Structure 1
Amino acid sequence: MFKRFFQQLKFKALARQLRKPSGAMGKKVGHMMNKANAFLYDFAFECMKICKGNAVLEIGFGNGNFFERLFAQASDLQVSGIDFSETMVKAARINNQKLITTGKLQLHHGSSDQLPFDSNSFDKIFCINVVYFWDDPIPHLKEIKRVLKPGGKFYTIIRTKESIEQMPFTRYGFTSYTVDSWKNLVNENNLHFVDVIPVDEPEILFKGNSIRSRSLCLVTEKK
């Protein structure tokens, strides 16, 4: 009984840190997310087909480990990022000083339901394993629509509901989506669902158990 109780406390603490990394533990979680999400960043960039001169926004960039990889996709990019965690924003600014100093990269501390950008600013917006943590997704989607250029696209990378449920910490504060539930949500909020691209991730170990996850890139367009 006590073992289960303390295990639940650990899972709850991990879920809180994944939502909003903070302090020394948050820094460790940031490094853990780099390993867990590396495959998904490559998958996201493949789906996005970033072009020369694009304006790109990442929501939830963590410690900014993948911005260099993003800039390698095309020339003359203008990249912005926003993250809910002050700990992660500080780390990302340290890790990307050169890109920030040269004006190629702008990083902001804040939430995607109040984006600090002008309307019609971005060609592409993306996030990886972020939307689970939106308590109310509607304000976020409205802001994303506002700052997208007409014809701009929003790429949402998520793990499938079945994959999420393999990980016990996701019982605490995670909202999972099916393709249909996400499609209905974005269409109801004046965005146009255009595609779903699936991918099978490499096998990982969690608490000694082998886990195979399937992720989806859900593509939405502003008409």
Structure 2
Amino acid sequence: MKKSFTEEELKAIATQLSHPKGEMGIDVAATMHESNLSMTEKAIELLHLEKGDRVLELGHGSAMHVGPLLAEADGLQYAGLEISQLMHEEAKKHNTTWIDEGKAAFYQYDGKKAPFESGSFDKIFTVNTIYFWSEPKKTTMELKRLLADEGSLVIAFAQKRFMENLPFTKYGFTFYDDENVIELMAAVGLVPLEQSDVTETVKSKAMEEVEREFTVMRFSR
């Protein structure tokens, strides 16, 4: 049975999706992991991971997908970057084995300047974060700075025509379609190489079953 949400509850959902905090944040993180898993798996597929790749993920959430990612190729090095302290802590809790083995590391930052040298990563990906970038061009420039020559940047996002019909996305979300994302990347010199479009049935954060249209794009310098 569909639950009716007040406007305050919808605002709270939107806030938690952009920056999970507290008890509700843990619940939202678990829901996000489940609902975003197919998007994350498709993004990892389009990374075309190779032996020894240095991989960065922006906005990893609870990061329960890191183990399967590291199994994609030998010698992978994963770094996760988050603005949410709660997600930073949850990710470390879920990935102690990989951290202890020196295969994964997690960093919290202010959403502006990443704590890495230029060209530090062969592959960078991000899933369902682009809606929350307050300064999209600056964020894209920063991701390009971190990308090694001939490296790949993969962006996974739900399509504008889907997002604009969700009841909570009127609070703090920016919608994107293919053209918007390609224009944003082109503005900093990133060119599209590959694209995958998927339609699936998922349970929304407002507990409705909906048909989600999402796209994963791969770019290079």
Quickly name the TM-score band, shorter chain normalised.
over 0.9
1:175 aligns with 2:174: yes
Structure 2: stretches of 5+ with no match in the other structure: none
Instruction: Between 211-220 and 106-115, report the one with greater CA deviation.
Output: 106-115
The 1-side partners of 2:102 and 2:163 are apart by 37
Per-residue displacement from partner, 1:41-97 (whole Å, max 9, x unpaired)?
221122221111111000001111111111111111011010110011111111111
Assess if the C-alpha contact under 8 Å between 1:59 and 1:112 holds in 2.
Answer: no
Match of 1:61 in 2: 60
Assess if the C-alpha contact under 8 Å between 2:120 and 2:148 holds in 1.
Answer: yes
* Partner AA of 1:158 in structure 2: F
TM-score by length of 2: 0.93
Assess if the C-alpha contact under 8 Å between 1:21 and 1:88 holds in 2.
Answer: yes
Distance 1:91 1:209, change over 3 A: closer
* Partner AA of 1:34 in structure 2: H
Structure 1: stretches of 5+ with no match in the other structure: none
- Report the aligned-residue RMSD: 1.6
Which structure features the higher share of helix residues? 1
In the TM superposition, 1:49-88 aligns within 5 A as 49-88=48-87
Instruction: Between 91-100 and 124-133, report the one with greater CA deviation.
Output: 91-100
Distance 1:169 1:156, change over 3 A: same
1:20 aligns with 2:42: no
In the TM superposition, 1:144-183 aligns within 5 A as 144-183=143-182
Q: Larger relative contact order (C-alpha < 8 A, sep ≥ 6)?
A: 2
Distance 1:207 1:178, change over 3 A: closer
Aligned-pair identity (%): 31
Match of 2:115 in 1: 116
Assess if the C-alpha contact under 8 Å between 1:166 and 1:211 holds in 2.
Answer: no
The Cα of 1:207 is off from its aligned counterpart by: 5.2
Assess if the C-alpha contact under 8 Å between 1:52 and 1:76 holds in 2.
Answer: yes
The 2-side partners of 1:30 and 1:182 are apart by 25
* Partner AA of 2:45 in structure 1: E
Instruction: Between 185-194 and 158-167, report the one with greater CA deviation.
Output: 185-194
* Partner AA of 2:142 in structure 1: E
Instruction: Between 208-217 and 173-182, report the one with greater CA deviation.
Output: 208-217
The 2-side partners of 1:206 and 1:103 are apart by 34
How many residue pairs match? The answer is: 218
The Cα of 1:219 is off from its aligned counterpart by: 1.6
Assess if the C-alpha contact under 8 Å between 2:194 and 2:218 holds in 1.
Answer: yes
